[in-house]
Amino acid sequence: MMHPGIRPGETPPFHELSEYVFQELCRDLFDTEPSISTCEIYGKRGQSQDGIDLLAHRREGHGIEVGQCKCYAEFTPAQIRRASDEFFDYFSRWSTENVKRFILFVACNLSRRQLQDEIIEQKRRFGAGGIDFEPWSAATIRNKLRPHPGIVATYCKPQNHWVRVICGETIAELSLTGEYPARTSGIVQVALVNQIDRLAERVSGTIKQNLELMHVAWREGRRNEAVKWIKNLKGDGALWRILSPEVKAKVLRFESSLELFTTGDITRTRKLADEAHSLAPSDDETKLRALIAYQEAGPEAALELLKGQEDVDTQNLRAALLLEMGLPEESLAMLNFGDMGLEENDRT
């Protein structure tokens, strides 16, 4: 139970959770990080944990990330050093596991200057071993919980209060639960539904614009930013459910492309593409299907799927496939055809 505060913007008192509940909250929050595939508590009660509480496996399969959880109302510079020492006492073991990041989850404020100075020192200490050191204070934990009302409702009681304080409220949640007040008249319900529909359209438009920005981020090499955006969007159940099928499908196709190029997991890539198709079939999915076919059966199979598509992006993909097949002249002809098509469009 976390007692509600009275000051707007007050940091939630996570230290009022029990030690093990706070640890479970941190585990679930760690699991939502874009770089993480799975996260679990390391060891059962009574077992040695070798200086960590949480062990997370990275999505790309390269190395691990670890965490310590400190459910305290106050924290000192000496306690920060001690937490680091607990890890480095077992560094001979962890140095062989390719640890990429160490997160110190603390249930209280870490803004005092002495604490910040010690954090800088520990960043240097971990950095010398090739490990990122990140302290997550109560404020950081609150901010990272904002898109995850499910986690907040699970661990922070009274849940109605803390979901509202940490995640905010949207009228859309009324339509998702269907729990209108018993005394609400039919006319009022219709008005609410109409208002919710307008809100859903506005939200879908905003997400569609953000999706275009994520395409740009991906093309510019900011892949983690795009992956994190999708994970946070789909992790917010209330927001994801009110999006239009067309916008959901666009997001899922983008996620499918990311999956193909980051992990190469054909099964998951196809599953996402199929989910998008079931929501809103589109000509845009042809190129994605061609890329899947390329990974599975080679360039010839991909070219077969691209027949009948005449847009510039498709022509460029055809040219790349022809070049890989050892047909440079046909590839060049395809690029010249694409340029002619573009000039023709410019004149109209």
CB proximity list for 238: less than 8 A, separation 6 or greater? 149, 170, 172, 173, 176
CATH number of 14-167: 3.40.1350
Beta-strand runs (E) in the chain: 36-41, 54-58, 64-70, 99-106, 132-136
Residue scoring higher pLDDT (46 or 28): 28
Span 51-90, pLDDT tens digits: 999 999 998 778 999 999 999 999 999 999 999 999 999 9
pLDDT at residue 174, rounded to an integer: 37
pLDDT tier, 218 (very low <50, low <70, confident <90, very high otherwise):
confident
Pick from 95, 107, 114, 100: which is nearest to 135 by CA? Answer: 107
100-119 mean pLDDT: 96
H/E stretch holding 153 reads helix 149-155
All structural domains of the chain with their residue ranges: 14-167, 176-347
Span 132-141, pLDDT tens digits: 999 999 999 9
Please state, rounded to an integer, the average pLDDT across all residues of the chain: 81
Span 148-178, pLDDT tens digits: 888 888 899 988 888 888 887 543 343 334 4
* CATH class (in words) of the domain with range 176-347: mainly alpha
CB-based contact 81:96 (threshold 8 Å):
no
Span 243-273, pLDDT tens digits: 888 888 889 988 988 888 888 888 888 899 8
| Dihedral Cα 143, 262, 233, 269, nearest 10 deg | -150
